[in-house]
Amino acid sequence: MKKIITIGEIVVEIMAVETGNGFRSAIPLIGPFASGAPAIFIDQAAKLGQPCGIVSTVGNDDFGALNVERLRNDGADVSAIAVHPTAATGSAFVRYRQDGNRDFIFNIKHSACSAIGLTPAAEALVETADHLHIMGSALFSDGIVAAIHEATRRIKAKGGTVSFDPNIRKEMLELPGMREALGHALENTDLFMPSGAEIFLFTKATDEKVAVAELLARGIKAVVIKRGAEGASYFDASGATLAPAFKVEEVDPTGAGDSFGAAFVTCWLRGMAADKALVIANATGARAVGVKGPMEGTSSMAEIEAFLAARNLSGVSS
Ligand code: ATP
Ligand code: MG
């Protein structure tokens, strides 16, 4: 089986129990929860039984230990997670507003995450990889960008593949070097996985179909557009497939895109047809939004199969 790796942030998330605005007074909080988009992605791939690992750095503290234990128990290769001697593990405080928007306080760029790079252990992990997943949210430091460039070069040189989820908040787009780093990722991408309007991040076109055609003409093999409660679409040179989302109650959308992405990449690397892969990825995303906590809703293949069987869709994964 093909081994997937990713490079980027591992953090804890601590969330407000009640909806409201920001953190300017004392409120009940719940957490720490294991988090970080690349970490959620790799945890989901591990739970599906795909060989996988992450290059990251945590602090020498409980927040780090909680994450590393979770990833190890779920089957990910944690050999390239360094432990920083002095800096604390990254963290994110999040509170949902009444209208569904979120307020965040991030401590990532100046946390242990700032030290992520190609250590000897990371180089050894890259050596074992067949596929690199690039998460746009991870491109916040020069060290990570350089590590991703080098891993891309090495993995592509031996015939491996790259997937890319821009996963970028507008506020991050204008960070120095961000546009260049995103552009470099796109140039090397085989499978591009934007959500909604992110499809237009790199195109002249403002019409979706034309934008997809533009991307495929640049050498990207396939594009998957995530559409939240509307499901997802797949495009390649031979056409397009749309798969509607499953109807579930959305408890916490954080992590759905990362879980969806890991499920799709795993199925794609296993050579599964795109329509089936979309159904499995939609089921994975639907299960993720039904659970509070960014990584708490990741699924094993048995859980996905049970979810599908309950909707008369047995046998999709075989
Ligand atoms: P993230 O906030 O994690 O970055 P994203 O924008 O990358 O999310 P979404 O499109 O929100 O990704 O969600 C990914 C997938 O999860 C969707 O394509 C869909 O399959 C599933 N999903 C998301 N929201 C819902 C929902 N409300 N109901 C059912 N399925 C959902
Ligand atoms: Mg996303």
| Tens digit of pLDDT at every position of the chain (318 positions) | 999 999 999 999 999 999 999 999 999 999 999 999 999 999 999 999 999 999 999 999 999 999 999 999 999 999 999 999 999 999 999 999 999 888 999 999 999 999 999 999 999 999 999 999 999 999 999 999 999 999 999 999 999 999 999 998 777 788 888 889 999 999 999 999 999 999 999 999 999 999 999 999 999 999 999 999 999 999 999 999 999 999 999 999 899 999 999 999 999 999 999 999 999 999 999 999 999 999 999 999 999 999 999 999 987 877
Is 229's C-beta closer than 6 angstroms to any atom of ligand 1?
Answer: yes
CA distance 87 to 91: 12
3-class SS at 14? strand
C-beta 317 within 6 A of ligand 1: no
Q: Which atom of ligand 1 is nearest to the CA of 288?
A: 16
293 lines ligand 1 (CB under 6 A): no
> Could you tell me if 72 and 78 are in contact, meaning their C-beta atoms sit under 8 angstroms apart?
yes
Check: CB of residue 31 under 8 Å from CB of residue 81. no
Q: Which ligand is nearest to the Cα of residue 260, counting in written order? A: 1
Q: Which of 131, 168, 166 is nearest to 151 (CA)?
A: 131
What is the distance in A from the centroid of ligand 2 to the CA of 128? 27
> Is the C-beta atom of 248 inside 6 A of ligand 1?
yes
* Atom 9 in ligand 1: residue holding the nearest Cα: 228
Half-sphere exposure of 176 (CA within 13 A, CB side): 2
How far lies 206's CA from each of 119, 201, 237, in Å?
A: 41, 10, 20
Quick check: 214 and 203 in contact, CB under 8 A?
yes
Alpha-carbon span 149 to 158, nearest angstrom:
15
Task: List the domains of the chain with CATH numbers.
Answer: 4-309 (3.40.1190.20)
* Distance separating alpha carbons of residues 40 and 22, to the nearest angstrom: 24
